[in-house]
Each structure stands twice: as structure tokens, then as C-alpha cells.
Amino acid sequence: MSNKQDKIEVEGTIVKSLPGLVFDVQLPEEFWWGIIQGYLSGKMKNNYIKLIEWDNVLVELSPYDLTKGRIVFRKK
């Protein structure tokens, strides 16, 4: 069972846009794995939030797989 407390929230920067609403996201220096793949959350798809390179975003990571994450918020 996945609780909201199980998510790791991290700020990152979009480096590259990939097909299928998937993005390469650069994490801060304290995370040793560097670049992860982030996919767009359902609320961002429904509200037509567009992302471009070098946008700052908030990513939710699962503790089980730290190579993929859900993009939940675009920072200004």
C-alpha cells in the first residue's frame, strides 16, 4: 500500500523532452543518480500544463524505483 508519506519530493530541471509526455529531469547535486525520467501527472495533462526545457519542476519519486518520477508541479 502506497501512502502519501512514502513519496520523496524533489525539485529538478527539465533537460530534454521525449515522446509521450516523458521528460529527462536533472536533479540537484545531492542526488547521486543525476538525471531521471519524469512523466506528466494526470492533473497536469487535464489542465493542459505545458513544459519546456529548463523549467523548474517538482517531482515525486517512489522509494522503490529512484530512476523514474511523476512531475506534479511547474515552478515559476
pLDDT bucket at 57, cuts 50 / 70 / 90: very high
Task: List pLDDT tens digits, range 3-56.
Answer: 667 899 999 999 999 999 999 999 998 878 889 999 999 999 999 999 999 999
Average pLDDT score over residue span 58-62: 94
Adjacent-strand bridge partners of 14: 25
User: Looking at the domain 4-74, which fold is it?
Assistant: OB fold (Dihydrolipoamide Acetyltransferase, E2P) (2.40.50)
- What is the per-residue pLDDT for 72? 97
Give the tens place of pLDDT for each residue, 63-72. Answer: 888 899 999 9
